[in-house]
Structure 1
Amino acid sequence: MGLVSSKLRNSARGQQCAFAIPGICSHDRSTVVLCHLPSEVKAMATKSDDFNAAFGCSQCHEAIDNHRLSKEEELYFSLRALQKTQRIWVASGLIVVPEKQSVPKPLSKTMPRRHIATGERI
């Protein structure tokens, strides 16, 4: 099993479905759960990491899990849902993205001059 976080899983409760697949989505917030998306971690009876998941209603979740969409549609709706979900997690502080830190000035690529015989700095 990949990374498991009860906070990420519980954050799905009451959310809007991030997949919102036209003609499939029930838009019923009471059925929204954290839907794990395919990844290198996922295998038979193994779920992806909890951060590789999106909020999904029961109808969209079933459509994705049972591959009822074309590969292209599945990829599109999964990526869009993942992005929407991660934005919510960042906004709520469940995922923290460090702010830009000051970067030390790079050292000069020029080596200091040294005396050829003694090796002392000139």
Structure 2
Amino acid sequence: MSKVRSNKIRKSARGQECTVRIQGVCNFNPETTVLAHVGKDRGMSLKCDDSFAVYACSDCHDWIDGRGMVMDEGTRAVYLLDALERTQSLLIEQGLLEVK
């Protein structure tokens, strides 16, 4: 079980490197990075828990939200799982996500 500090997690995205890093999509610009929700219960105006979110540049965020390059679901899942793992590791290091 995890304890999440949501507001701090959202703010922590500012200035971070993109953890999604989609080839041919990512702009690698930390000035555009936001917290992008990737959990099951997400969509326009619907957000899952912040522990199921990744640091995404503006272009990767557009891709996550379905705007841009289309790819098969298996490849999409690999990118998102890798990004979630990288983001959660950073959040744990920052003390923003506590794993018990």
Shorter-chain TM-score tier: 0.7 to 0.9
How many residue pairs match? The answer is 95
Contact 1:4 1:49 in 2 (8 A): no
- Aligned-pair identity (%): 37
Higher relative contact order (CA 8 A, sep 6+): 2
TM-score (norm 2): 0.85
* Distance in 2, Cα, partners of 1:54 & 1:43: 14
Please report the TM-score for the alignment, with normalisation by the length of structure 1. Answer: 0.71
Give the residue type in structure 2 aligned to 1:35: A
Write the deviation string for residues 61-101 of structure 1: whole angstroms up to 9, x where unpaired.
Answer: 11121162221121111110000000001111111224xxx
Structure with more of its chain in helix, by fraction? 2
CA distance in 2, matches of 1:78, 1:62: 13
Contact 2:20 2:83 in 1 (8 A): yes
CA RMSD of aligned residues (A): 1.9
TM-aligned CA distance change 1:77 to 1:94, over 3 Å: same
Q: Tell whether the 8 Å contact from 2:21 to 2:60 is kept in structure 1 after alignment.
A: yes
CA distance in 2, matches of 1:44, 1:35: 11
- What are the equivalent positions in structure 2 for 1:35-74 lying under 5 Å apart? 35-39=36-40, 41-42=41-42, 45-66=45-66, 68-74=70-76
CA radius of gyration, larger in: 1
Gaps of 5+ in 1: 99-122
